Chain A
Amino acid sequence: MKRNARLLGMGWLFHIKMLNRSSFNSVLVVLYPLFFATVAFFMYRAGNPDALFYASLGASVMGIWGATTTAAAGAMQRERWHGTLELLVAAPAPFALVLLPVTIAMSTIGLYSMTTTLLWGRVLFGIRVHIEHWLLFCLSVPATVIAIGMLGFLLAVSFVRYRTAWALGNLVEYPVWLICGFLVPLSLLPDWVRPISWVLAPTWGMQAIRESAQGGTPLPDLLVCLGLGAVYTTIGVLVVDHMLRAARARAVLSLT
């Protein structure tokens, strides 16, 4: 147990350090979501200026989600290109404990995007960041980061098995912005979409962040968010060995 916790912690630190070493990646993680956030700010300012803070929080979580989906897909492909994926698989450590810190590190890097998006909104659009419950807000943000990292882990398991699954990372990025209510309230979405929103942890993480900022009751949302993260992790852990076995049978762990 202690060894597994250490492996998770050291893996997280290692990948955080590596992600931070690439100035190109860091700039990309920060700049890319800013373009979309800017579009959202313009739209909300034209329509309903009072909702700008709503959009600001939503846009900030978009960056965390983007860093996890597209970056996780790209990172798995990079591991494959660099020959390190084979080394990670060939190590005796349970692969789930090797992969989980990678995706959580990526969602953590998304915090850069969150911070800069909030600052961007404040400086250029005059959006004041007023948080009612700082303590709950400070709990909601890392909980959302962890839950998104866990969802990223589930996606990454498929990236390991299917060489072309990296495209899935790009594919799921934008729909989730809408489905999870980052930019528009869930009540505006068609009824049939809502069950999809409910099974996605970012929906609840987003709600917890907004509730804590606006002085509501974020704890139920927070618990559902973390609960769903735990479910993703459990599913990932259950299927990862099967996926790895299939990857070894089909020789897709390397590109050579």
Chain B
Amino acid sequence: MSAIQARDLVRTYKTSTGIFRKRAVDVQAVRGVSFEVADGELFGLLGPNGAGKTTTIKMLITLLIPTSGSAAVLGYDVVKDAREVRKRIGYVFGGDRGLYERLSALDNLRYFAELYAVPPAEQKRRIAELLDLVGLAGREKERVEGYSRGMRQRLHIARGLLHDPPVVFLDEPTIGVDPVGARELRRTIAGLTQAGKTVLLTTHYMFEADDLCDRMAVINKGQIVAEGTPSDLKALVADRTVIEIETFGVDEDAVERVRHASSVSSVSIEDRDQAQVLHVQSPAGTELTQTLIGLLGNTRIGRVAVREPTLEDAYVALVGEA
């Protein structure tokens, strides 16, 4: 039996437009998502902002009812057996929200320990263990409002693990956390599967997914566009090559000219200090460098390099070309 099963999940939000003449509009955030996560697996759900990751996760953790389709966690239906699901899952989301800031970490953890029915005799030991695990031991009596984002995130993880759930949902847990803090968090997340837990992680950081996930699915515009191991996804672009062109002050028109050049599969732009690096994907064996430099016109160009595709390139290809 899979730890998590999602079958044809659809979620539509009703919204309205206009002030005087209101018109109801249906927005389909998730359009038929299906996947399974095996027991003890760390599964990644990747996608750009607004792709439907959080909506999918909220249906799985019983906060949203699917418009259609079904899902189960450890065999319990997320709609019919919501309470049974809640007993067995931990939910951690990224960002500053989700904590009682005026109170201490210890107060927060004690309160949630009550909500998750952690026996009173075990609470003290469990909270101490978790504070040690997330590196907040000694800081637990300070008010959360004084915590850095990384500390809040670690407190979120401790809160999500209070009742020792077999399945943990992590929704962009490292968002906004500094590199050192994010690395520590990733170490903690990797430790969860070593402790036998099933983890569903959403992220849009490819290196994070590559580093942590056993398998992953890429979701775009509410649909899964690819699923497999990191190697499987990289293989999708194995027949491509990536040209990196460092530019300074490149304009939209020039990027559009590159995007529409023949043999160019996709283009993404990465800001690096004052430079903008274009990652141009094309079929392997195609010599495009001179053509691309010509298309950039008067744009100041720095370093140019040709490299093998990475998981990030596979992701860009999947979400950029969909």
What's the nearest-Cβ distance from chain A to residue B151, in Å? 17
Could you write out 20 A-B pairs with CB less than 8 Å apart? A6-B120, A7-B115, A10-B111, A11-B114, A14-B111, A17-B107, A18-B102, A82-B97, A82-B98, A87-B91, A90-B86, A90-B91, A91-B116, A92-B86, A98-B115, A248-B62, A248-B65, A253-B63, A254-B63, A256-B54
Check B14 for interface membership: any CB of A closer than 8 A: yes
For the complex, give the distance between the alpha carbons of A47 and B12 in Å. 61
Over the window 188-211 of chain B, the binary record of Cβ atoms lying under 8 Å from chain A Cβ atoms (1 yes, 0 no) is 000000000000000000000000
Query: In the complex the two chains form, is B65's CB within 8 Å of A93's CB?
Result: no
- CB-CB nearest in chain A for B101: A82
- CB-CB nearest in chain A for B114: A10
Query: In the complex the two chains form, is A251's CB within 8 Å of B13's CB?
Result: yes
Query: In the complex the two chains form, is B65's CB within 8 Å of A92's CB?
Result: no
Query: In the complex the two chains form, is B120's CB within 8 Å of A92's CB?
Result: no
Query: In the complex the two chains form, is B102's CB within 8 Å of A84's CB?
Result: no
New A-B pairs, 19, CB < 8 Å, besides A7-B114, A82-B98, A83-B95: A3-B117, A6-B120, A7-B115, A10-B111, A10-B114, A17-B107, A82-B101, A83-B97, A87-B98, A87-B112, A87-B159, A89-B63, A90-B86, A90-B91, A92-B117, A93-B115, A93-B116, A98-B115, A251-B13
For the complex, give the distance between the alpha carbons of A245 and B114 in Å. 23
What's the nearest-Cβ distance from chain A to residue B223, in Å? 19
For the complex, give the distance between the alpha carbons of A17 and B86 in Å. 27
Contacts of B65 in A (CB 8 A): 245, 248-249
- CB-CB nearest in chain A for B156: A87
Check B261 for interface membership: any CB of A closer than 8 A: no
Contacts of A21 in B (CB 8 A): 102-103, 143
Check B64 for interface membership: any CB of A closer than 8 A: yes
- CB-CB nearest in chain B for A250: B14
For the complex, give the distance between the alpha carbons of A236 and B14 in Å. 27
Check B83 for interface membership: any CB of A closer than 8 A: yes
Query: In the complex the two chains form, is A84's CB within 8 Å of B99's CB?
Result: yes
Check B93 for interface membership: any CB of A closer than 8 A: yes
Lowest 7 A-B CB distances belong to which pairs?
Answer: A83-B97, A91-B115, A21-B102, A92-B86, A83-B98, A92-B87, A249-B65
Contacts of B100 in A (CB 8 A): 14, 18, 82, 84
Contacts of B95 in A (CB 8 A): 83
Check A88 for interface membership: any CB of B closer than 8 A: yes
Once A7-B115, A11-B111, A98-B115 are accepted as A-B contacts, the answer to whether A90 and B14 lie under 8 Å apart by CB is no
Contacts of A92 in B (CB 8 A): 83, 86-87, 115-117
For the complex, give the distance between the alpha carbons of A256 and B117 in Å. 28
Over the window 34-73 of chain B, the binary record of Cβ atoms lying under 8 Å from chain A Cβ atoms (1 yes, 0 no) is 0000000000000000000010001001111100000000
Contacts of B54 in A (CB 8 A): 256
Contacts of A250 in B (CB 8 A): 14
Check A132 for interface membership: any CB of B closer than 8 A: no
Contacts of A90 in B (CB 8 A): 61-63, 86, 91
What's the nearest-Cβ distance from chain A to residue B127, in Å? 14
- CB-CB nearest in chain A for B11: A251
In B76-128, the 8 Å CB interface with A consists of 83, 86-87, 91, 93, 95, 97-103, 107, 110-112, 114-117, 120
Once A11-B111, A90-B62, A251-B13 are accepted as A-B contacts, the answer to whether A83 and B93 lie under 8 Å apart by CB is yes
Contacts of B116 in A (CB 8 A): 91-93
Contacts of B112 in A (CB 8 A): 87, 91
Contacts of B61 in A (CB 8 A): 90
Contacts of A6 in B (CB 8 A): 114, 120
Contacts of A14 in B (CB 8 A): 100, 103, 107, 110-111
For the complex, give the distance between the alpha carbons of A90 and B224 in Å. 26
For the complex, give the distance between the alpha carbons of A98 and B102 in Å. 19
Query: In the complex the two chains form, is B103's CB within 8 Å of A18's CB?
Result: yes
Contacts of A249 in B (CB 8 A): 65
For the complex, give the distance between the alpha carbons of A253 and B58 in Å. 11
Over the window 212-256 of chain A, the binary record of Cβ atoms lying under 8 Å from chain B Cβ atoms (1 yes, 0 no) is 000000000000000000000000000000000100111101101
What's the nearest-Cβ distance from chain A to residue B168, in Å? 13
- CB-CB nearest in chain A for B13: A251
Check A187 for interface membership: any CB of B closer than 8 A: no
Contacts of A253 in B (CB 8 A): 63
For the complex, give the distance between the alpha carbons of A249 and B111 in Å. 27
What's the nearest-Cβ distance from chain A to residue B159, in Å? 8
Contacts of B97 in A (CB 8 A): 81-84
What's the nearest-Cβ distance from chain B to residue A17, in Å? 6
For the complex, give the distance between the alpha carbons of A91 and B83 in Å. 8
In A81-124, the 8 Å CB interface with B consists of 81-84, 86-93, 98
